[in-house]
Amino acid sequence: MKKVLLKRFPRELKKNLFRYLSLYLLITFSLFVVFSIVDASERIIQGTEKNQERSKLEDGQVTVFMPFTDGQIKAMEEKGVTLEPHFHFEITMEDGSVLQVFENREKIDLYTLDEGRLASGSSEIVLEKRYCSEKGIKVGDSVSICGDAYQVVGVGSSVDYDAPYRKLADMVIDSSAFGTAFVTKESYDHLKKSGSSEELTYAFLLGGMDSAELKQMIKDFPFDYDSVDDPYYQELLKDSYGKKDELVDGINELFDGSKELCNGAKELRDGAVELKDGTSELKDGVVELEDGLKTLKEGATELKDGTGELKKTGEQFAAQIGQMTGGQGDLYGAVTMFAKGVAKADEGTGSLKEGIDEVYEGAEKLSDGTNDLVGGAGDLVDGANELYDGTTELYDGIKELKEKTDDLIDQFFDKGPENITSFMLKTDNNRIGGASGDVFIDRYVGLFAGVVIMVLFTYVLSVFVIHQIQSESSVIGALYSLGVRKKELLIH
């Protein structure tokens, strides 16, 4: 029975040869495309990784305002960190394109040459390969930079500029407008005079040290920010730390002013109390004066009454003597003069009494004025006390404000400006691994497409099998009746 089944297989294949051949070619072509995409992506990824390893790719880079001192570099190296300055500046070429100029490297992010060699002479230069391709520059050509001729002795790329973006925030690579260049230290120092401001970037290998620990270590390094020449940085400092100083000075002046105001209010209160005490003593003196003048007034009244009676008596006596002497004689003259003297004395006592009355009235008014003055002094003391209490509360409030402001300033300005302008690990640098980054998605798309194709082919094959079973159902029944087992039919 097996021979019967085996004879059916070639006949079935011959009958549907075109269908089976088409399916085979479709499967083969689809798998070839999938494997090609995945394999090409994997080769680029592995090639990039090997190149990064050969070139000693950095673990990260840090950009600073001021170069590290020898002591700071030594401190980092003692922690196992390998550090190399990758300082650079930009030069605008005659055609408007920009070259970012570096010194030759020895430790980190070593240059990969496609052609030629590294620059060793003062008038030699190595250019980035994409820039050369766009500009049609080859090894041996001469390029003019800032009026000087430089011979191109090498063409290649640096691993930290695998994707040569001019700025990290750029989204598109334009190699016709930007490229990198590597020269000797002598040429670098010469070209720096004509280039833009230098960017002080250090590449580092952690060597087992944690990146966060290294970053904190750099932040803790002493930094004399006043020595930075960058005017924009100084303006930034003026807008930040300058405002801090203004705020501190303003709070201190407000605190000192409130303190002086409080002290002045205290002196005013003490003076008002002394004034009140003085007016009270003045009032007591005026009362004593009034009492004395009252006694004097009473005495003057009695004196006036006495001189009046004496005058009356003298006049009567003079009249009687005149009658007796007929208005003649020494006695009459003496008595008459006495009477006149008494009359004058009466007039004088009258004037004295009037004066004493006026003084007494003035003393009464003075007494009333001193009473008002005592009352006013009391009101002044009350007002001075209220003023002192208010200024004391103001002083306490401003003192509390000063303490909280000091705490706030200490919290936000706990340290001076830091030397770091940027600290970036290689995983965050979109210039690194640009080629492998571009094909990562190709690899995953290829793998996904392979899975989808396998699912579709499985579906197609299942449709073919179902159709075959349905079309051969009568034959299957006959084979069953002849004793063919289910397992043999499934295998067939």
pLDDT digits (tens, 9 = 90+) for 406-453: 887 776 665 566 788 899 999 899 888 765 555 556 667 777 877 887
Mean per-residue pLDDT for 454-458?
80
| 465 or 103, which is more confident | 103
Mean per-residue pLDDT for 279-300?
80
Mean per-residue pLDDT for 381-397?
88
Phi/psi at 140 (5° precision): 100, -20
Q: Please report the pLDDT score of residue 107 as a whole number.
A: 93
Per-residue pLDDT tens digits for 23-37: 778 888 887 888 887
**What is the token pair recorded at 171?**
């989204």
Q: Which residue has the tokens 């003298």?
A: 314
| Mutual angle of helices 330-412 and 231-325, in 10-degree steps | 170
Rg (CA), the chain: 59
pLDDT at 5 exceeding the cut of 60: no
**Cα dihedral value 29, 33, 35, 38, nearest 10:** -170
Q: pLDDT tier at 272 (50, 70, 90 boundaries)?
A: confident
Find all residues with CB under 8 Å of 296, minimum gap 6, and list them: 356, 360
Q: What Å distances lie between residue 310 and 313, 317, 324, CA to CA?
A: 5, 10, 21
Q: pLDDT tier at 2 (50, 70, 90 boundaries)?
A: low
Q: Please report the pLDDT score of residue 142 as a whole number.
A: 94
pLDDT at 114 exceeding the cut of 90: yes
Q: pLDDT tier at 212 (50, 70, 90 boundaries)?
A: very high
Q: Please report the pLDDT score of residue 73 as a whole number.
A: 94
Q: Which residue has the tokens 């720096």?
A: 192
**What is the token pair recorded at 368?**
């009333």
Q: Please report the pLDDT score of residue 85 as a whole number.
A: 95
54 close to 410: Cβ distance less than 8 angstroms: no
311 close to 342: Cβ distance less than 8 angstroms: yes
Out of 101-105, 301-305, 374-378, 474-478, give the one with best mean pLDDT. 101-105
Mean per-residue pLDDT for 266-270?
88
Q: Please report the pLDDT score of residue 228 as a whole number.
A: 64
Which SS3 state, helix, strand or coil, does residue 131 take? helix
213 close to 99: Cβ distance less than 8 angstroms: no
Mean pLDDT over all residues of the chain? 82
Q: Please report the pLDDT score of residue 177 as a whole number.
A: 95
pLDDT at 461 exceeding the cut of 90: no
Percent of the chain residues past pLDDT 70, beyond the cut: 83
Q: Please report the pLDDT score of residue 422 as a whole number.
A: 92
Q: Please report the pLDDT score of residue 218 as a whole number.
A: 93
Q: Which residue has the tokens 């179902």?
A: 466
Q: pLDDT tier at 191 (50, 70, 90 boundaries)?
A: very high
pLDDT at 331 exceeding the cut of 70: no
Q: Which amino acid is at 204?
A: F
